[in-house]
Structure 1
């Protein structure tokens, strides 16, 4: 169990310069990490599962290089902790980023938000991509079996035929045929913060990679309504094939979260239901 006592021990032993700072767990931290606020300026992030291993080192290496070129704030890692005290993986200390999590109710119909997010992705894609992370661009086809299984599992809740049509269109869309570009890799509503009524920050770059940017179309289906979604797509000049693959990523991600968490978390059930239905709507 990753509790506050463990985090306190890890921080105090490995980073004694921060041993006197108060530590407070952040309750709604997502499914990949346990997050604590350390003093007023820092955050401690510990992976919850094996799928999040390696994120600390990757973010520490790359985010300081990307940050100066991006129009929204992103995390600035300041240290990577070692496995210890029975905790098995590297973990990170980053600068604390203020703000409230973005919601569909507040931002989903905002054209300004759609343009902000498109501008962020445009800037990210214009930074020369690293071949070191090109392998992070996994293919939709790798999700085929699990996605079809999830479609069968939710057939009593959603229109399975419609889900299958979207999924098969994504699989049959031509692949990305241009040079690799940076993608965030987990670009959805929960990874945005807002201040002063505007999106201010993009967080959680564990999926950062170089290749096909279709993954980052997920934001269009997790946050934006139909009109700002069209604005987002137009501002990015997304072609039909990339949009189809993006719908596939949104559908696969939504289905995976729905079958994993909807039965035990009403908030996740509502969010993923919207994601699935918006991916079908296009």
Structure 2
């Protein structure tokens, strides 16, 4: 998927576990769904190992583990709990982490019509927003600040999406979205990546949330990307009502989902088709919205 992606075969994982955590050496090691940042391997029935696929991703491990502890203490939805940190070895150059395994299936279209899921997602968002920011504002360069700061990124995506998407229509939409005012809404804590690969469901209900390392202060509308990635129009309206979102916040949430989805199609078209399909599906929902 990436020019600098590391190879993480299952035999390597088994060897590192045997070397560094002999208490787990006899457990089955199974590769799970392909992540875009980490290779994910289940260890036995109760653990999961995450191996960064790119050198810079290893810098996120301490933040990931701190975020997992914070979310576990403040939300009612299960998140993976930190268990251990592994060291480089056997030719793999980076640290890696071990967390608890969460049961459930990755969210897909079969859950998009669930109003119960919409209510669960809204309650999770409310819990996360309730975590104190300690006065810290958004400090990143990615999603969560001002929408118009992503002009260069969207221009790149539009250029690379020729032949893949309806670029003229998407360009017209962006000219409106980029002008959306931020208003006076203060930054709040956000998970920041509520998309299908990070959301677990069971029986139409929210069973767990993964990839929590993006937790931090941001535009409260950023968390609304989950409404567009995960829900059909009816349940989406249920989530909005539960959170009490006004017009301005709702419009910005739609724009943040657009910013993320525009990069999913062209970047992952060949290397990760499920991720590209997620981008197409979300853009289709945005374009179909009467607003």
Three-state SS of the structure 1 residue aligned to 2:250 is helix
Alignment of 1:42 with 2:44, yes or no, is no
Alignment of 1:86 with 2:58, yes or no, is no
- Asked whether the equivalents of residues 67 and 213 of structure 2 are also in contact (C-alpha less than 8 Å), the reply is no
C-alpha separation in 1, matches of 2:192 and 2:56: 14
How many residues are paired up?
Answer: 280
Q: List runs of 5+ in structure 1 lacking aligned partners.
A: none
Which structure has the highest helix share of the two?
A: 1
C-alpha separation in 1, matches of 2:256 and 2:90: 37
Instruction: String of CA shifts for 1:61-81, please: whole Å, max 9, x gaps.
Output: 232232132121111111122
Q: Residue in 2 aligned with 1:201?
A: 208
How much does 1:89 deviate? 2.6
Q: How does 1:220-231 map to 2 (within 5 A)?
A: 220-231=227-238
Alignment of 1:102 with 2:102, yes or no, is no
Q: Residue in 2 aligned with 1:252?
A: 259
Alignment of 1:135 with 2:139, yes or no, is yes
C-alpha separation in 1, matches of 2:42 and 2:279: 27
Instruction: String of CA shifts for 1:11-45, please: whole Å, max 9, x gaps.
Output: 2333333233222211x232111111112111000
Q: How does 1:73-222 map to 2 (within 5 A)?
A: 73-104=78-109, 106-130=110-134, 134-136=138-140, 138=142, 139=145, 140-175=147-182, 177-222=184-229
How much does 1:133 deviate? 8.3
Q: Residue in 2 aligned with 1:54?
A: 59
- Asked whether the equivalents of residues 187 and 215 of structure 1 are also in contact (C-alpha less than 8 Å), the reply is no
Instruction: String of CA shifts for 1:122-165, please: whole Å, max 9, x gaps.
Output: 11101212567842473344432121222233244433333123
Q: How does 1:11-26 map to 2 (within 5 A)?
A: 11-26=17-32
Alignment of 1:276 with 2:280, yes or no, is no
- Asked whether the equivalents of residues 137 and 209 of structure 1 are also in contact (C-alpha less than 8 Å), the reply is no
More displaced, 68-77 or 149-158?
149-158
TM-score when normalising by structure 1 = 0.89
TM-score when normalising by structure 2 = 0.86
Q: Structure 1 residues 223 and 21 mapped into 2: Cα distance closer, same or farther (>3 Å)?
A: same
C-alpha separation in 1, matches of 2:264 and 2:255: 14
